Amino acid sequence: MRISFKLNGTDTNIDVRPDRRVVDLLREDMGLTGTKESCGAGDCGACTILVNGESRLSCLMLAVQLDGCEITTVEGLDGGRSLHAVQESFIEHGAVQCGFCIPGMVMASVDLLNRNPEPTREEIRQGLAGNLCRCTGYQKIVDAVEKAIPYCKAGEES
């Protein structure tokens, strides 16, 4: 069936099996391999994308559910210009090790800061509770989100 949605700012109109998982559609059909899959069952958050600005698990969404939505994947986070403040902060503060959880972690962080622009460290941990990381012990990820707070707020105000 044909579905229309906005993908990383671009109007997209494709023919797809309605029950194709969104994670497969993105990775295999559209070549957007920044979105990862690690459990396929909603337990790990590696496949997190933004749907209408809200974090969703692309392994638990079927293609038809994209119809009419605005989708952002990690590839589209920067609007094609510069890095998002969260991405910059992840690099600078050592949040990245093996990196396989990182695209999902970045998307979850953006969602968190959109909802709660000034989270405490505990709120950051709760906000990232759906995203498993096996390398970092989360501390530097929490550091990175915390350090990105002023830059995200600055971005919103302007």
Q: Site for another protein (CB under 8 A): which residue of 2, 11, 13, 158? A: 158
User: Should residue 88 be labelled a site residue for another protein when binding is judged by CB under 8 A?
Assistant: yes
Which residue's CB is nearer to another protein, number 11 or number 83?
83
* Distance from C-alpha of 91 to C-alpha of 77, rounded to nearest angstrom: 15
User: Should residue 7 be labelled a site residue for another protein when binding is judged by CB under 8 A?
Assistant: no
Which residue's CB is nearer to another protein, number 7 or number 44?
44
| DSSP label of 91 | H
User: Should residue 9 be labelled a site residue for another protein when binding is judged by CB under 8 A?
Assistant: no
Q: Which of residues 40-69 bind another protein (CB under 8 A)?
A: 40-46, 48, 54-57, 60-65, 67
User: Should residue 86 be labelled a site residue for another protein when binding is judged by CB under 8 A?
Assistant: yes
**Amino acid identity at 3:** I
* Distance from C-alpha of 69 to C-alpha of 56, rounded to nearest angstrom: 12
Q: Site for another protein (CB under 8 A): which residue of 7, 85, 119, 149? A: 85
Collect contacts of 116-120 with beta carbons under 8 A, ≥24 apart. 117/149, 117/152, 117/153, 117/156, 118/149, 118/153, 119/145, 119/146, 119/149
| DSSP label of 13 | E
| DSSP label of 48 | E
User: Should residue 118 be labelled a site residue for another protein when binding is judged by CB under 8 A?
Assistant: no
User: Should residue 136 be labelled a site residue for another protein when binding is judged by CB under 8 A?
Assistant: yes
By CB under 8 A, the count of residues binding another protein is: 94
Collect contacts of 41-44 with beta carbons under 8 A, ≥24 apart. 43/132, 44/101, 44/104, 44/131, 44/132
User: Should residue 23 be labelled a site residue for another protein when binding is judged by CB under 8 A?
Assistant: no
Smallest distance, Å, CB 47 to another protein?
9
